[in-house]
Chains A and B, each alone.
Chain A
Amino acid sequence: MKLTRKAALVMAAVPVIVFVTPVGSASAHGYVSSPPSRQAQCASGVVPNCGGPQWEPQSAEGNKGLVTCSGEDRQDFAVLNDDSKPWQVTSTGTSLTMTWTFTARHRTRDYEYFIGNTRVHFVDGGNAAPVDPVRHTINLNGFSGRQKLRAVWNIADTVKAFYSCVDINIGGTGGNPTPPPTTTTTTSPPVGGTWAPNTYYAVGAQVTYGGSSYRCLQAHTSLTGWEPPNAASLWQKI
């Protein structure tokens, strides 16, 4: 393992060889963030208990040309193909703007958008790395009602593609996504209450945690891992 790692580092130092480096561990990843794709809903917590896609929404990877939401390289992403999950549906007119999030830059062959087996939109990537923000406005004329829009990012430097499915309802009231669910709304803390995740704290807010009191140093919405003893830059013990 150590030898392999070192060998990979040495090989990667030679540009010509980088091109043929196996793609399995490459972090050339991306997904549709808006309207919220299925994996974006897993990552934001709108749809719970997704497994892999909650942690790596960018990794729905597979060979090019698949009819899939999961990419099929990873079995723990198969949940993305499950139409019975409570995916949030975005109401839209016939014009819809898609936004991509990338975790690394790779040269891009093209982007394709499908409903069923019909390709409804194509964007040439020019064999260049994406420049943020990457947005495509697609025309859905001829389609109506509930549809599963499949977005594909075909990268140019490996045989792979990245897949995102977005559940949409065409003929709704416009291009705006449905409002976020109330379960994700942050709450106002009680004065001097116990620290809780997903709570907005203003500078000066006071909480108790583990029997100690803390004062907020930096306005933020709290999250697991930012408990006061774990984030001295956010919380001062008093």
Chain B
Amino acid sequence: MRRLVIAIAAAVLALAGCGGEAIVPPGQGGHGHGATSAAPPVPAASARFNDADVTFVQMMVDHLQLGISLSQVALAKATKQEAKDLAGAIDATQREELSMLKSWLKLWGKPETGGADLHAAHGGQPLLDDKVIDGTKEKSGAEFDLTFLNLMAGHQGAAVEMALTEKKDGSNPETMAYAERVATTRQGQISQMLKVISEQ
């Protein structure tokens, strides 16, 4: 029982932003394996999950990939440094999340694909697709920055909605902790983007 509690606590600590409450005690950080610079182990999701967990993770896989694609364009084309930095950080963190979510789907025996169709089933055409992302490549300067910032703010806003749904309907503790972190970090990103937009 104690081991279970520790395992759950460790998973939550490793995963959750939890509104700034994710305090990691000294010596019990995500690393803790004696390595000085190795990447922390990818948190495993437990085997207990429901349809909402699977739907959320599959939709997030699609959503993360689209966000990475848009960030890649911004890394090449953004002129405002804040926009470029944010694109770099979104690109890096979402790649990290993507590999974690894919490992969960593998563990659960669920396909990685299908997220785009699920988006459609959950309320219309997603904001981003390959065509929209390609379209941004034709813009430049302030016009590109404005387009990127509004698209990414909207894209991450959709992630917040998905995360809030998972927090309500999900059952897998690691997935729900991840949803909490998605809501918090995307809200923080949107806050940063709206400030830059309002300076235009």
Contacts and interface: CB of A to CB of B under 8 A. Distances in A.
A108 B51 CA distance: 32
Contacts of B161: 27, 29, 56, 58-59, 103
Contacts of B151: 132
A27 B198 contact: no
B124 A27 contact: yes
Interface residues of B, number: 75
Given A210-B23, A212-B29, A223-B188, A180 B93 contact: no
A102 B127 contact: yes
A237 interface: yes
Contacts of A29: 157-158, 161
B123 A104 contact: yes
B185 A238 contact: no
Interface in B10-44: 13-17, 19-20, 22-31, 36-37, 39-40
Given A101-B154, A210-B29, A224 B17 contact: yes
A33 B26 contact: no
A133 B146 contact: yes
B195 interface: yes
- Grouping DSSP codes into helix (H, G, I), strand (E, B) and loop, the B interface class, with mixed when no group exceeds half, is helix
Nearest to B90: A220
Contact of B150 (A104, A133, A197, A223): A133
Contacts of B164: 55-56
B195 A180 contact: yes
Contacts of A57: 157, 190
B171 to A, nearest CB: 11
Interface of B: 13-17, 19-20, 22-31, 36-37, 39-40, 50-52, 55, 82, 85-86, 88-89, 92-93, 95-96, 118, 120-127, 132, 135, 143, 146-147, 150-151, 153-155, 157-158, 160-161, 164, 169, 181, 183-185, 187-192, 194-195, 197-200
Across chains A and B, which 10 residue pairs bring their CB atoms closest together, nearest first? A225-B17, A211-B26, A223-B188, A26-B123, A220-B89, A225-B185, A12-B121, A233-B92, A210-B24, A44-B194
17 contacts: A27-B122, A28-B124, A33-B197, A36-B194, A55-B183, A56-B164, A58-B161, A101-B150, A101-B197, A106-B125, A218-B92, A220-B88, A223-B191, A226-B185, A229-B13, A232-B39, A232-B40
